[in-house]
Amino acid sequence: MSEKKINALIGQSGGPTAAINATLAGVVRGLRALPGCGEIYGAMNGIDGVIAGNIRDIGSRLRTEEELNALECTPSAALGSCRRKLPDVSDTEFYGKIFDRFAEYGIGMFFLIGGNDSMDTVDKLSRFAASAGSPVRIIGVPKTIDNDLEITDHTPGYGSAAKFIATVCEEIAGDCAVYTTKACTIVEIMGRDAGWLTAAAALPRLYGQVCPDLVYLPEVSFDYDEFINSVLALFEIKPNIVVAVSEGIRDAEGRYVGEGSQSGVRDIFGHRYLAGTGKVLEETVRARIGCKVRSIELSLPQRCAGHCLSAADIRESVMIGKAAAGFAAAGRTGEFAVLKRVPGLDYAIVPDAVPVSLVANKIKKVDRAFINAAGNNVTDELLRLIAPMIEGEVAVPMRGGLPERFELKE
Amino acid sequence: MSEKKINALIGQSGGPTAAINATLAGVVRGLRALPGCGEIYGAMNGIDGVIAGNIRDIGSRLRTEEELNALECTPSAALGSCRRKLPDVSDTEFYGKIFDRFAEYGIGMFFLIGGNDSMDTVDKLSRFAASAGSPVRIIGVPKTIDNDLEITDHTPGYGSAAKFIATVCEEIAGDCAVYTTKACTIVEIMGRDAGWLTAAAALPRLYGQVCPDLVYLPEVSFDYDEFINSVLALFEIKPNIVVAVSEGIRDAEGRYVGEGSQSGVRDIFGHRYLAGTGKVLEETVRARIGCKVRSIELSLPQRCAGHCLSAADIRESVMIGKAAAGFAAAGRTGEFAVLKRVPGLDYAIVPDAVPVSLVANKIKKVDRAFINAAGNNVTDELLRLIAPMIEGEVAVPMRGGLPERFELKE
């Protein structure tokens, strides 16, 4: 018991999600279970906090089950976030300062919870540590609503975002169904490069509920004629058409639909930044069909809807955080914690770790086989794969009819 | 028991809400409790269904507590809806056909659940009935998320919409707070003429939660300079500013901000329909401040978020439906059911009825005294008035992580 204890530092990075705080709570829970863990610090605003010395003792703020549970169902990022691309590891002055900071706080383990870009940070820090002979263990813990990280079965944060998107798309489709006049409603969903989030819009179909009739992912080139013809064909059988589109759909030449240049309605857009994928398709339908049309951009609520959490997502987000603490304790470094699906009929997920270089700066797309031949919807097979990730509800503490949030005040 | 029973007909009209089906269930519950009630019919797509003879026996579909409970937490409009302005009551041929239809189905009571425009329909139908000596009792039952109906303390449907808006605005504010770079986020909320919905964005403030810093209602003329100066002043104390605006805000000359013509950025908008209130303010901030800025339009989910119901709203929506059945049974006609707040410290609501002519085609705005002197936020007094309307959660039945809906299939 006289052995020197190792302090730990945790940071959050990239866009917030509804589950990134659950992972933070998981890392804290995992560290607490380690005999050799000393103080638990939080780096405010990710790596920026390390550089600036904006580091707080969060262990003393997260002592009780009640506090950890409350943090687990609080969306956003309790430690703040940043978007910073680190310089090449050859910049020894830059990295030297970061590791000096680690030394200052007696940090032996650094955890960065983040997405693709954050894994680049983890990769660089661990490569510098190796070259400099530093004993600090660097572990990346994934989070991203986009679900576009390689190797991990899926990413913590995706399930809750998918649940919100599926729920809201069902509600929009149900709302639109009440009128008898022909109308087309276009729902724009996040996902610049991968269509995982947009695919979730079709989940209600698995349960016989209404949902978007057409689903366009960035994995397939978008064809304006096919789109218009599909809407027209659907109008033959019902008056209300709902279309889900990824913000990142591109035409055959690789140009983003959101740029508006290939939609046939270029002249009515003043400036490109006024457009958006949904808006461009709205204008396309207005110009080529002339029916009532509206577009809805789900926007930020997709990633922060803490009132609509997936219990499976929160459970796994805590689990992967706990596991990450164990990996660091076992002396692993330069690794990335992943969720591994156990083969079998029942859904089961276990944590694992792989070298972070295998994921940094890579994007996992939706397999073409999961998209129908026409390229305008996803298969039931994909939906069955995603379905367990949105299962279960989280009883968020409420006050006055609104969710109560946990704040990591000092 | 040999007395002839009176059949009842119910219709839904105007924009759907998350609570309009609760009122439908309430009317059915109320009718069931009457000894003299015969068949219960539903008019599909409101008055259009009466005109076209698209009338269904819904009583046989809504027999059990389970069915009624399921309908009560299903958003949208189970009977479909329409937007139709009826001709002047002097058009006896038109109204004669409607009352012939009533006779065909033995209808003695007609209930129309709807907003301002629907109350115009109720008014005209009851005036025609009076002039024609028809015994059919016509009762209007309010619903509108806008909360802009006169006389009633508030409208069924408002509480759930307000709860969703307050919840999502808190989540957006929490999400935006994670970065340290200056950014302005503008949230556009429904409400063309009245600011009740936008006011709800500030509700989290009552409980010490984050929420929009500035709140602009259509009841006060919008001043671009005041807006920009307020944002700049807030940037002096924090980097992330969130602004809630009603879609219907207008400048001192009465021009909608959403038209873009007075924003100082007119030239960069190709066509008016591309703009929107949030987009125009986004461009204004970009042009005049130059910071990171984004706008979010909450759009349709505001009125159909059945996954985020206010228990108070659903309870009152059922209550007013039940009461409406009782008013018709008591021989009242040409009336409009209202929610009356019982004076006192505790929140208590009872149903009442008033002549529909007192509400038809009128708009209840937010009192200027409920808005601060600068015109850029609402008072705590207003928030305390609204707060009880969003209280309590409804345990919506779930399957596969998604809300289960009730369908009025034949």
Boundaries of every domain in chain B: 6-157+305-361+393-403, 159-303
Is the separation of the CB atoms in B401 and A158 below 8 Å?
A: no
Q: How far is B66 from chain A (nearest CA, A)?
A: 19
The CB density around residue B132, as the number of other CB atoms within 10 Å, is 13
Question: CB within 8 A of A107, min separation 6: which ones?
Answer: A6, A7, A8, A9, A41, A101, A136
H/E element, B340 = strand B335-341
Name the DSSP class of A358: G
Interaxial angle between packed helices A224-235 and A277-288, expressed in degrees from 0 to 180 and rounded to the nearest 10: 60
Report how far residue B7's alpha carbon sits from residue B318's, in angstroms, rounded to the nearest whole number: 20
Is the separation of the CB atoms in A207 and B400 below 8 Å?
A: yes
Report how far residue B171's alpha carbon sits from residue B127's, in angstroms, rounded to the nearest whole number: 48
Report pLDDT digits (tens) over A268-319. 334 444 468 999 999 999 999 999 999 999 999 999 999 999 999 999 999 9
- The confidence score (pLDDT) of residue A275 equals 60
Structure-token pair, residue B91: 């058009």
* Entry field: residues in chain A: 410
A293: which chain B residues are within 8 Å (Cβ-Cβ)?
A: none
Structure-token pair, residue A336: 């990335």
Interchain contact A271–B (C-beta under 8 A): yes
Is the separation of the CB atoms in B190 and B296 below 8 Å?
A: no
- The confidence score (pLDDT) of residue A263 equals 40
Q: Which residue numbers in chain A have pLDDT < 70?
A: 1-3, 260-275, 409-410
Cβ of A167 within 8 Å of Cβ of B307? The answer is yes
B120, B123, B146, B213: the catalytic one is: B146
B76: which chain A residues are within 8 Å (Cβ-Cβ)?
A: 171, 174-175, 177-178
| Cα dihedral A278, A251, A214, A369 sign | negative
- The confidence score (pLDDT) of residue A260 equals 57
Strand ranges for B25-67 from DSSP E: 37-43, 55-57
- The confidence score (pLDDT) of residue B281 equals 95
- CB-neighbour burial class of residue B252 (10 A; exposed 0-12, middle 13-18, buried 19+): exposed
Q: Where are the alpha helices (DSSP H) in A110-195?
A: 116-132, 158-176
Q: Which CATH architecture has domain B6-157+305-361+393-403?
A: 3-Layer(aba) Sandwich (3.40)
CA B293, chain centre distance (Å): 30
Which residue does chain B place closest to A159, by CA atoms? B401
Q: Following CA atoms A74, B390, B187, A216 in sequence, which dihedral angle do they give, to the nearest 10 degrees?
A: 70
Interchain contact A391–B (C-beta under 8 A): yes
Report pLDDT digits (tens) over B67-106. 999 999 999 999 999 989 999 999 999 999 999 999 999 9
Is the separation of the CB atoms in A112 and A46 below 8 Å?
A: yes
Interchain contact B83–A (C-beta under 8 A): yes
Task: Using alpha carbons, list the distances in angstroms from residue B168 to A303, A399, B212, B275, B293.
Answer: 11, 15, 11, 23, 18
DSSP state letters, B146-213: T---SSSSS-TTHHHHHHHHHHHHHHHHHHHTT--S-EEEEEEE--SS--HHHHGGGGGGGGT----S
* Minimum-distance CB partner of B301 among A171, A310, A312: A171
- CB-neighbour burial class of residue A264 (10 A; exposed 0-12, middle 13-18, buried 19+): middle
Q: Of B17, B325, B284, B256, nearest to B146 (Cα)?
A: B17
User: Span B332-357, mean pLDDT?
Assistant: 96
Report how far residue B215's alpha carbon sits from residue A353's, in angstroms, rounded to the nearest whole number: 47
SS3 assignment, position B376 = coil
- The confidence score (pLDDT) of residue A268 equals 35
* Entry field: residues in chain B: 410
Is the separation of the CB atoms in B26 and B315 below 8 Å?
A: no
* Minimum-distance CB partner of B401 among A80, A163, A168: A163
* Minimum-distance CB partner of B76 among A178, A300, A307: A178
Q: Which site among A81, A175, A385 would you substitute to test the B interface, given the most B Cβ atoms closer than 10 Å to its Cβ?
A: A175
CA B257, chain centre distance (Å): 23
Question: What pTM did the predictor assign?
Answer: 0.96
- The confidence score (pLDDT) of residue B270 equals 40
Is the separation of the CB atoms in B15 and B300 below 8 Å?
A: no
Structure-token pair, residue A159: 């399930």
Q: How far is B27 from chain A (nearest CA, A)?
A: 20
Phi, psi of A91 (to 5 degrees): -80, 75
Name the DSSP class of B13: -
- The confidence score (pLDDT) of residue B272 equals 42
Q: How far is B409 from chain A (nearest CA, A)?
A: 13
A171: which chain B residues are within 8 Å (Cβ-Cβ)?
A: 75-76, 300-301, 304-307
Give the CATH class of A6-157+305-362+392-403.
alpha beta
Interchain contact A209–B (C-beta under 8 A): yes
One fold for A6-157+305-362+392-403 and A159-303: yes
Is the separation of the CB atoms in B357 and B124 below 8 Å?
A: no
User: Span B289-309, mean pLDDT?
Assistant: 97
Question: CB within 8 A of B85, min separation 6: which ones?
Answer: B117, B120
Interaxial angle between packed helices B311-329 and B158-176, expressed in degrees from 0 to 180 and rounded to the nearest 10: 170
Phi, psi of A241 (to 5 degrees): -110, 130
- The confidence score (pLDDT) of residue B260 equals 57
- The confidence score (pLDDT) of residue A181 equals 94
For A159-303, CATH number out of 3.40.50.460, 3.90.1150.10, 2.30.110.10, 3.40.50.920 equals 3.40.50.460
Pairing between β-strand A37-43 and β-strand A183-189 as defined by DSSP bridges: unpaired
Cβ of B304 within 8 Å of Cβ of A399? The answer is no
Phi, psi of B248 (to 5 degrees): -95, 15
Cβ of A171 within 8 Å of Cβ of B75? The answer is yes
Q: How far is B393 from chain A (nearest CA, A)?
A: 7
B392: which chain A residues are within 8 Å (Cβ-Cβ)?
A: 401
Is the separation of the CB atoms in A34 and A322 below 8 Å?
A: no
Q: Is B146 a catalytic residue?
A: yes
Report how far residue A147's alpha carbon sits from residue A199's, in angstroms, rounded to the nearest whole number: 11
A304: which chain B residues are within 8 Å (Cβ-Cβ)?
A: 171-172, 174-175
Q: Hey, which residues of A are catalytic here?
A: 146
Structure-token pair, residue B113: 């659940």
Interchain contact A130–B (C-beta under 8 A): no
Q: How far is B308 from chain A (nearest CA, A)?
A: 8
Q: Of A176, A198, A200, A171, nearest to A293 (Cα)?
A: A176
